[in-house]
Amino acid sequence: MADARRLYEKVADDLRAAIAKGDLRSGDSIPSEAELSQQHDVSRQTVRQALQQLTQEGLITGGQGRARTVRTYEPLEWHLSSYESRASHATRDPSGDQWSVDVQDQQRKPQQDVEVSLVKQPPDIVSERLAIAPGTLVVVRRRVRLVDEIPFQLADSYFVEELVRGTLLMEPGDQSAPGGLLASIGHPQVRYRDEIRVRMPLKDEATRLHLAPGTPVAEHIRTGYAEDGTSLRVMITIVPGDRHVMIYELDAS
């Protein structure tokens, strides 16, 4: 099956092959550590090393007390540019934000937990993009977005406080789209710049999103600009790789 010299590689290759070949399908449980240890005549630690590698590759999942299973993926589509074809969707709702619409289009249940606060010292990433001096007051809207009761994204939006003072944006309960709200108070966003980085989650992010080991995330940073080129809003979203496909529709210019 494989000519690996390392024992744990042989065990791992064996299972990888079984998964690729279809002997083990999504959701199936794989042999126990003890079984694999006997079958390959290696110590349990060596088996564990193999299994850890597969876990890190995102192929299997574990859990104390439960048998390990082959991991399943059914990612949600996240549409980041609204191409004309999507404008006709039945569930489109101009007052809600596009994300909720997107989720409902896919027959799943969106939900957002919002928390608003004021900060003087936002992360460097934010102050650079908002082009503000240190000490400028900033409003942060921290959202945990859930789908079918499961945490799906962490989405933090940052605005200069002066701009949104006294508006609904400061209300934690408000569920409307910040983009729409900015427009309604005379600050429409006419251009976006999106930056996407791919990395492993921080410990904190992994906890809050209940990420299985070996689940990478995308860090999606959207900066919204006004007509005159000033930046109005920065939104940083942490997107677990196992639950999302990000989609852009573009016109070739």
Partner DNA sequence: CAGTGGTCTAGACCACGCT
Partner DNA sequence: GCGTGGTCTAGACCACTGG
Q: Which does 250 bind (CB under 5 to 8 A by kind): DNA, its own copies, none?
A: its own copies
β-pairing verdict for 60-61 and 76-79? unpaired
User: Which one among 50, 217, 234, 236 touches its own copies, defined by CB under 8 A?
Assistant: 217
Least distance between DNA and beta carbon 116 (Å): 34
Minimum CB–partner distance for residue 172 and its own copies (Å): 26
Cα–Cα distance between 168 and 185 in angstroms, integer? 10
Stretch that binds DNA, among 48-56, 136-144, 152-160, 216-224 (CB under 7 A): 48-56
Quote the CA–CA distance of 187 and 210 in Å, as a whole number. Answer: 36
Minimum CB separation of residue 49 from DNA in Å reads 6
If binding is defined by CB under 8 A, does position 126 make contact with its own copies?
Answer: no
Does residue 28 bind DNA (CB under 7 A)?
no
Give the single-character DSSP code of 145. E
Which among its own copies, DNA, none contacts residue 253 (Cβ within 5 to 8 A by kind)?
A: its own copies
Nearer Cβ to its own copies (26/81): 81
46 lies in the binding site for DNA (CB under 7 A): yes
φ and ψ at residue 212, rounded to 5 degrees: -70, 150
Nearest CA among 159, 174, 172 for reference residue 222? 159
Regarding 203 and contact with its own copies (CB under 8 A), the answer is yes
Please state the closest distance from residue 161 (CB atom) to its own copies, in A. 23
Using the rule CB under 8 A, is 196 a contact of its own copies?
A: yes
- Beta carbons of 243 and 217 less than 8 angstroms apart: no
Q: Within positions 163 to 222, which residues make up the interface with DNA, using CB under 7 A?
A: none
**How far does Cα 222 stand from its chain's mean position?**
14
Q: Does 164 contact its own copies by CB under 8 A?
A: no
Of DNA, its own copies, none, which one does residue 24 interact with (CB within 5 to 8 Å by kind)? none
Evaluate whether 138 touches 125 at the Cβ level (below 8 Å).
no
The pair of structure tokens assigned to 149 is 């009761």
Q: How far apart are CA 249 and CA 82, in angstroms?
A: 7
Q: Which two tokens stand for residue 15?
A: 């299972």
Amino acid at 95: S
User: What one-character DSSP code corresponds to residue 252?
Assistant: -
What does the binding site for DNA look like in residue numbers (CB under 7 A)?
5-9, 30, 32-35, 41-46, 48-49, 51, 62-68
